[in-house]
Amino acid sequence: MITTGQIIRCKAAVAWEAGKPLVMEEVEVAPPQKHEVRIKILFTSLCHTDVYFWEAKGQTPLFPRIFGHEAGGIVESVGEGVTDLAPGDHVLPVFTGECGDCPHCHSEESNMCDLLRINTERGGMIHDGESRFSIDGKPIYHFVGTSTFSEYTVVHSGQVAKINPDAPLDKVCIVSCGLSTGLGATLNVAKPKKGQSVAIFGLGAVGLAAAEGARIAGASRIIGVDLNSKRFDEAKKFGVTEFVNPKDHDKPVQQVIAEMTNGGVDRSVECTGSVQAMIQALECVHDGWGVAVLVGVPSKDDAFKTHPMNLLNERTLKGTFFGNYKPKTDIPGVVEKYMNKELELEKFITHTVPFSEINKAFDYILKGESIRCIITMGA
């Protein structure tokens, strides 16, 4: 391509300071270096993680920065040493990676790559620590190695999943973060059998994806637990059959669920980050075979306690990161689930905005009005 090896000037939505609206700027995007690819982003979406770090809650603020990590695009050019990707490939950049060489990548049980595991503090590329974005020669920092709120971005090749070119990027772009996190927590970690019961704690985007996983697995009862009763009607589209609002009961919600299910659900998936919900998720599963899976990220100093008998009575507590999916190996298969009509993505997409109106996506998510808002680049 004519741009190969050249600096590309394009539009990016830059966060200059915490909590302030993103500003459309012309940025310079440098060519990819060793083990990097430059991608033309066609569609991106907004995730709560972007909002959390844009608000600069709980970590060292790093600005100016280009956020964004759920996206779909086409490879424009590749750097030295990249052999598995080529210009023209349809891809999803992912916030975590798969180097292929570390013990985690060699393990069938782990997706927590030593080299490319998510790092929210890093503002440059792994190869040299430098940013590939600049304005008037001054660097603009990267976010989780993806920075998809730019018409072009540079990503480590280990964080890029090559997908079916027939897959619509305006739909499958949401697969690269929250959807896979919830879906995989159920299908890969909780692993409900057909006909079993599943409780989902938290009915945001990740929780609804976990419910979608339970639906795909053939669960007979999917019990949604949320403090917001308005979420139940939406949750029915994702297979949720019953709803429990802890505020409606004068007894612990784990006791309510146990009474509803003759001793407890077979599986539970916690998607809130609340330690109280984590305890409830463990204690609501049936003794003897119940499995509880933790997905939500707690606050830094959080801890929870439960009686050891809850585990000695043959309940299992598990944790998961990104649904136990390896980005390069497994994410193309999630896209195929959509292409084969096993997985429904359209119902997750509640809004669409042009790139020039990206701040509307922040408004929708802050007001709790959207599950996923697709941002159309070049519009």
Quick check: is 99 catalytic? yes
- Given the residues 25, 35, 105, 153, the one annotated as active site: 105
- Given the residues 70, 76, 98, 270, the one annotated as active site: 70
- Given the residues 10, 173, 177, 284, the one annotated as active site: 177
CA 370 to each of CA 57, 71, 131, 170: distance values in angstroms, whole numbers, following the listed order = 21, 17, 32, 16
Residue tagged 């933790």 (tokens): 294
- Given the residues 132, 142, 215, 372, the one annotated as active site: 372
- Given the residues 47, 173, 284, 373, the one annotated as active site: 47
Quick check: is 104 catalytic? no
Quick check: is 373 catalytic? no
Quick check: is 105 catalytic? yes
Distance (Å, whole) CA 225 – CA 238: 14
Quick check: is 284 catalytic? no
- Given the residues 25, 35, 38, 49, the one annotated as active site: 49
- Given the residues 3, 117, 344, 350, the one annotated as active site: 117
Quick check: is 372 catalytic? yes
- Given the residues 10, 25, 38, 99, the one annotated as active site: 99
Please give the single-letter amino acid code of residue 37: V
| 8 A C-beta contact, residue 212 and residue 371 | no
- Given the residues 3, 28, 102, 241, the one annotated as active site: 102
- Given the residues 65, 69, 90, 267, the one annotated as active site: 69
Quick check: is 70 catalytic? yes
Quick check: is 69 catalytic? yes
- Given the residues 35, 44, 65, 113, the one annotated as active site: 113
Quick check: is 10 catalytic? no
Quick check: is 122 catalytic? no
- Given the residues 48, 122, 241, 306, the one annotated as active site: 48
Task: Show which residues are catalytic.
Answer: 47-49, 69-70, 99, 102, 105, 113, 117, 177, 372
